[in-house]
Structure 1
Amino acid sequence: MTVRESMRARWRRTRPWARAVGVVVIVGLVATGAWWVWWREPASADAQVPATRTVEASLTTMEKSVSGTGTLEPTVRQDVSFAVSGTVTKVSVAAGDTVTKGQTLATVDTLALDADLLSAKSTLAQAKARLSDAEDAADGTDSSDAQVAAAQAQVEVARAGVDDAAAAVDDAVLKAPAAGLVTSVDLEVGDVVSGSSSSSGSSGGSGGGSGGSAPSSQSSSSATSFTSTGQFVIVGTGAWQVETSVSESDVANVAVGDQVELTSDDLDDTLYGTVDSVGLVSTSTSGVAAYPVVVSITGDTSALHDGTSVDVTIIYERRTDVLTVPALAVTTADGTSTVTVQAADGTQKKVAVTTGETSGNLVEITDGLSEGDSVILTVFQPGSGNNRGQSGSGGFDGGQFPGGGQFPGGGQFPGGGQGAPPQGGGSNG
């Protein structure tokens, strides 16, 4: 009996479950071998390989900055309402109009206000008459002196009443407290106003009320969410600002006057500004303290729009003409930094250098190099090797297992390929 016949006889005597286990083991070995050749081996062949090139030490500008985000807002944003009661007789502007400081926005009737002023003047006249009588009757006694003093006080009170009544007549004409764009008008002729002088504002602070009071500067401690409560809303378009925040660890580096760069996908160009104020009161989010910083925009602001989100970069240190080389060119060992310098004739030598600060992928060189010196740096690039399918037709050596690319014995399992062999054309049984 030949060896082949003996193997077939043994296979036939094997229990079916043992045959199944044998098939699973063989298939597992085949899969493991395929993974090793197809994936493991090409990975090493495709590994990155080092390459060198030369760069020149050059002068550059190094900066230290703090980043944040914010929203463009006009510096002046006034919420203006009548401070006197009356019926609206005229509305002089509409939403979308541009107004100047002091321009008339609307008026109310002055019938009642004029009557109040006349009454106040009458009261003042009577107080003056009583004062005159008291002075004429004064005889130097304490009693007469007290009567004169009381009459004098009544005159002062009456005079203040006249001033208030006159101011109310003036307030019947509502004027713009600042130049800007009228964004909202909530008033029509015939409306009766109650004379509420409460006004609110953001960015430029509170404005408003009667007679067009000037805008106040914004508090630097926190941002104010603007909600219109007035009869007119005026937004100044000549000055803009952004409020951002910096962390507790960065706020010490930021100072009033620092230069700021602002960018946005909604802007064609970079905006520039300066730090206008740094808040002293922090807010906390998830236990992290942040301090508000207000940035005033400089330059042309004619194309800006309220509510545009921007990325803010506050530059707190900038140095020009700093000698730098790429960080890959510097090797540091045992506290000593060196670079490899290549001369004009191609010769190379290591040179000890003194390094300064790092910015991105650049390292400052304070001693050991001069501008224009060529230094060698090592970079890594993908290898070109790829041995997938290089042996045979995309598989193992010869494309198949030994023995014609199949399992020993003609590519089948012993016994005619029973057990669903992975290769060959053996039949079942």
Structure 2
Amino acid sequence: MFINSALVVALVLTAGGTWWFLRPAEAAATPEGQSVRSSTAGVGTVTTTIAAQGTLQSAAVTDVSFGTSGAIASVDVAVGTVVAEGTQLGTLDPATAAATASTTLLSPVAGTVTAMSGAVGDTVSAGTSSSGSGASDAGAGASDAGTGASTGASSAFVTISSTTSLRITASFDESDAAQLEVGQSADVTFPAVEGASATATVTAIDPVGTATSSVVTFGATITLDAPPEGVRLGQTASLTVTTAEAVDVLTVPSQAVTIDVTPTVDATTGEQIVTGTVTVLAADGTQAEQAVTVGVQGDATSEILSGLAEGDTVVISVDTAVGATETTTETRGFGSSAPSGGTGTGPQQGGGNR
């Protein structure tokens, strides 16, 4: 009787071990104790941007001077005065001015007085009025060729700056500057003025960079489409330039895409093709790596040109709970018994992923 019982036990253990060794392999599923963050591929817009800070300036500056020499009899404006076209700026003493010249100076443009030179009793020489795009910050702004911008200290009686035509001069590091093009759009905010914002356009880029402590930057001019209320000339502006955009394209979160280090080169056109991989999550929880071709790469989302379809679910990250053990699939030899539930478990120290 003892022999028969031992034989039965041996047969059971052998059968169990044979089943465990020959059982079909399981699909790669999400391990127990792990949380998967995923997203669904969908149609949307992808944008690539670069950011910088700059200084708000007038895009139209006019230097105004008397047309004849003489002694100043009156000064009718001050720095900060808002003037309209035709506003009286000052007069000369008729006794000291040429008989044929006008002794009254009128503003040729509308704007704000931003600089003055001269006081009552001072003798001025005959000058000419000129218009320009405003002085540029050295090394920080693009120079507009042929605009007639004045440099150095102005000798004009009055300098009038437009407050309706505004621009920003900003510096970009050389890697960002390589993405800049005239005509690109930008969004502008002003840290010192709550709620003030504007849209703008890149209108000029310095052709030569400026090196400071071995760091090369390029200046650019960004012109505001319309001035927001409450801002002042000289204030700091924060801007974000859109350098690339793809509309109505298939997108996934950029975190879900692993970009290949070496891009593929199209044999026909010679253009570089950006490739990468994503992990596709099936409805049953299984995961599979999928090769994709990538278009515009944004900070939040990336354009997928091929490899996925709308509605596919991709893995963003897999988080393991502290102290959790990871479920694994193991192959056991003859004589091993199957644990309860028919799956083998191998504890992972610290609950890490494999």
Q: Is the Cα contact below 8 Å between 1:238 and 1:302 reproduced in 2? A: no
Q: From 75, 81, 87, give the equivalent of 1:103.
A: 87
1:373 counterpart = 2:312: yes
Residue 347 of structure 2 corresponds to which residue in structure 1? Answer: none
- Correspondence 1:116-155 to 2 at 5 A: none
What are structure 1's unaligned runs of at least 5 residues?
A: 1-48, 116-165, 207-217, 386-429
Specify whether residues 92 and 362 from structure 1 end up closer, same or farther in structure 2 by C-alpha distance, changes over 3 A only.
Answer: closer
Mapped to 2, the partners of 1:224 and 1:285 lie a distance apart of: 25
Give distance in 2, aligned partners of 1:332 and 1:107: 70
The offset of 1:351, in angstroms, is 6.4
Q: Distance in 2 between matches of 1:73 and 1:374?
A: 48
Going from structure 1 to structure 2, the CA distance change for 1:253 and 1:360 (only over 3 Å counts) comes to closer
- Specify whether residues 277 and 330 from structure 1 end up closer, same or farther in structure 2 by C-alpha distance, changes over 3 A only: closer
Are 2:127 and 1:178 equivalent residues in the alignment? Answer: no
Structure with greater strand share of residues: 2
The 3-state SS of whatever aligns with 2:112 is strand
1:26-425 matches, cutoff 5 A: 50-115=34-99, 166=100, 169-170=101-102, 172-185=103-116, 187-189=118-120, 191-195=121-125, 197=127, 203-204=133-134, 219-220=143-144, 227=153, 229-267=155-193, 268-330=195-257, 337-343=277-283, 346=284, 348=286, 350=288, 352-357=290-295, 358-360=297-299, 362-380=301-319, 383=322
* Inter-CA distance 225–327: structure 2 relative to 1 (3 Å threshold): same
CA 1:56–1:114 in 2, change beyond 3 Å: closer, same or farther?
Answer: same
With over 3 angstroms needed to count, the CA separation of the structure-2 counterparts of 1:88 and 1:264, relative to structure 1, is closer
- 8 Å contact from structure 2 (residues 68, 98) kept in 1: no
Structure 1 counterpart of 2:50, which letter?
V
Q: CA deviation at 1:99?
A: 1.3
Contact (CA 8 Å) 2:71, 2:97: kept in 1 or not? no
Give 2:17's aligned residue: none
Structure 1 residues 381 and 243, CA gap change in structure 2 (3 angstroms): farther
Judged with a 3 Å threshold, the aligned counterparts in structure 2 of structure 1 residues 326 and 79 are, in CA distance, closer, same or farther, namely: same
Question: Are the structure 2 counterparts of residues 179 and 226 from structure 1 closer, same or farther at C-alpha, using a change threshold of 3 Å?
Answer: farther
SS of corresponding position for 1:301: coil
* Deviation readout 1:34-79 (Å, 9 max, x if unpaired): xxxxxxxxxxxxxxx7421332112332223333221111223344
- Report the CA distance between 1:87 and its aligned residue: 2.3
In structure 2, how many angstroms separate the alpha carbons of the residues matched to 1:332 and 1:109? 75
| Per-residue deviation, 1:186 | 5.1
Answer whether contact 1:201 1:226 (CA < 8 A) is retained. Answer: no
Structure 1 pair 231–374 and aligned structure 2 pair: CA distance change class (3 A): same
With over 3 angstroms needed to count, the CA separation of the structure-2 counterparts of 1:328 and 1:77, relative to structure 1, is: closer
Preserved contact between residue 353 and residue 366 of structure 1 (Cα < 8 Å): no
TM-score (norm 2): 0.63
Post-superposition shift, 1:108? 0.8
Taking the aligned partners of 2:116 and 2:260, their CA distance within structure 1 comes to: 71
Q: 1:198 to 1:381 in 2, by over 3 A?
A: farther
SS in 2 for 1:253: coil
Q: Which runs of 5+ in 2 are unaligned?
A: 1-32, 137-141, 262-274, 325-354
- String of CA shifts for 1:160-180, please: whole Å, max 9, x gaps: xxxxxx5xx03x322224211
Aligned partners of 2:221 and 2:45: how far apart in 1?
26
Count of equivalent residues? 270
Give, in whole Å, the separation in 1 of the partners of 2:276 and 2:65: 71
**Residue pair 1:104, 1:174 contacting (<8 A) in 2 also:** yes
Describe the shift of the 1:224–1:318 C-alpha distance in structure 2 as closer, same or farther (beyond 3 A). Answer: farther
Q: Which runs of 4+ in 1 moved over 6 A?
A: 198-202, 223-226, 331-336
Q: Is the 8 A contact 2:276 2:293 kept in 1?
A: no
Task: Measure, in 2, the Cα distance between the counterparts of 1:281 and 1:72.
Answer: 22
Which string of whole-angstrom CA distances, capped at 9 and with x for unpartnered residues, describes residues 173-196 of structure 1?
22224211224555444x132316
**3-state DSSP class of the match of 1:280?**
coil
Verify the 8 A CA contact 2:200 2:222 in the aligned structure 1: yes
CA RMSD of aligned residues (A): 3.7
Change over 3 Å in CA distance of 1:193–1:266 after alignment to 2:
same
| Residues 239 and 297 in structure 1, CA contact (< 8 A), matched pair in contact too | yes
What letter corresponds to residue 352 of structure 1 in structure 2? Q
Structure-2 separation of matches of 1:64 and 1:276: 19
Residue 340 of structure 2: aligned partner: none
Change beyond 3 A, Cα 1:302–1:276: same
Cα distance, 1:332 vs structure 2? 8.1
Q: Which amino acid in structure 1 is aligned with residue 313 of structure 2? A: S
* Length-normalised TM-score, structure 1: 0.53
Q: CA deviation at 1:366?
A: 1.9
- Give, in whole Å, the separation in 1 of the partners of 2:308 and 2:71: 81
Taking structure 1 as reference, are residues 290 and 365 closer, same or farther at Cα in structure 2, changes over 3 Å only? same
